[in-house]
Amino acid sequence: MTSGEGNPRSVHHSDAGHTSGGGQPGEADPQLIAKVALANRILYDQGVVDGFGHVSVRHDRSPAHFLLARNMAPGLVASEDILTFDLDGNALDAGGRRVYLERFIHSEIYRARPDVQAVVHSHSPSVIPFAATRTPLRPIYHMSGFLGAGSAIFEIRDVAGDTDLLIRDPALGRALASALGTHSAILMRGHGSTVVGTSLEQAVYRAIYAETNARLQSQAVALGEVTYLNEVEAAKAAATNDTQIARAWELWQRAVER
Ligand code: MN
């Protein structure tokens, strides 16, 4: 499956139009394009995304651009499906291909958070009950130390009234990014969640373990009073885990290449 993944593709920037501001970022590293395509398939294989959801990475040659698939199921994404977007959410090279309605989740988080290099948005099921009950995700075990003192929660009704819940314009993206603040994860009431990372691998890791943490936290709450990691424990665990992500990534990659 990887044999065709590393090929540079002529489709990039071959189409006129759709460009707004920020200039041309140049060709992204083909290995990064292949890796974000792989991240899509990993997130599907690991049960974080289904027919919906998306993952992006900041462009390696321009902090004002990012790479995100065209509008399609994440489990089917290949390198040739990866498009380049600017921070207004415009695709530079869509060439008539449909783009995700919710690309503004990515564009506005990259604009607000220079430290963020990758973003995962999903509707992973175990997380949904938390925002619905205004309950933050909290780290129940060391694997989710990245949750720190707890996730952020976004109530779209507070900023936009009654909507279809989707982050379908830049203003909604800005509101979401504002609510995210410095957190690593934000729960979106009635919708899903978004996690960020300082690398693609870290964002994927966090998306997978946010889902697992949610399932375990629900189970623990049903049993009784829960002792969560405190902020110091969470920070220490997160720092350790960040040195170990490559081990999990190798396994996840192997699983989708079987
Ligand atoms: Mn969504």
159-177 confidence digits (pLDDT tens): 999 999 999 999 999 999 9
For tokens 């909507």, name the residue: 163
CA of 53 to the centre of ligand 1 (A): 6
CA of 155 to the centre of ligand 1 (A): 14
First to last CA, the chain: 8
CA of 73 to the centre of ligand 1 (A): 12
- Say which of 102, 108, 201, 211 is annotated catalytic: 102
Q: Which two tokens stand for residue 246?
A: 């490559």
- Spell out the SS3 assignment of the chain: CCCCCCCCCCCCCCCCCCCCCCCCCCCCCHHHHHHHHHHHHHHHHCCCCCCCCEEEEECCCCCCEEEEECCCCHHHCCHHHEEEEECCCCECCCCCCCCCCCHHHHHHHHHHCCCCCEEEEECCHHHHHHHHCCCCCCCCCHHHHHHCCCCEEECHHHHHCCCCCCCCCHHHHHHHHHHHCCCCEEEECCCEEEEEECCHHHHHHHHHHHHHHHHHHHHHHHHCCCCCCCHHHHHHHHHHHCCCHHHHHHHHHHHHHC
Neighbours of 61 (CB within 10 A): 13
| Amino acid 92: pLDDT | 97
CA of 233 to the centre of ligand 1 (A): 31
Tell me, yes or no, if 102 is annotated catalytic. Answer: yes
Q: Which two tokens stand for residue 233?
A: 């424990």
CA of 49 to the centre of ligand 1 (A): 10
**Rounded to whole angstroms, what are the CA distances from 179 to 43, 128, 175, 214, 252?**
24, 17, 6, 20, 31
Torsion of CA 4, 7, 13, 18, to 10 degrees: 30
| Amino acid 22: pLDDT | 56
| Amino acid 11: pLDDT | 38
CA of 179 to the centre of ligand 1 (A): 16
Query: What values do phi and psi take at 132, rounded to 5?
Result: -60, -25
| Amino acid 4: pLDDT | 34
Backbone φ/ψ region at 23: left (φ over 0), alpha (ψ -120 to 50), beta: left
Q: In 3D, which of 74, 97, 76 has the Cα closest to residue 18? A: 97
Measure the CA angle with vertex 253, ends 38 and 123; round to 5°: 60
CA of 242 to the centre of ligand 1 (A): 27
d(CA 196, CA 150): 14
CA of 236 to the centre of ligand 1 (A): 31
| Amino acid 14: pLDDT | 36
Low-confidence ranges of the chain (pLDDT < 70): 1-22
CA of 151 to the centre of ligand 1 (A): 17
| Amino acid 2: pLDDT | 35
- Note the CATH architecture for domain 5-9+26-257: 3-Layer(aba) Sandwich (3.40)
d(CA 147, CA 183): 8
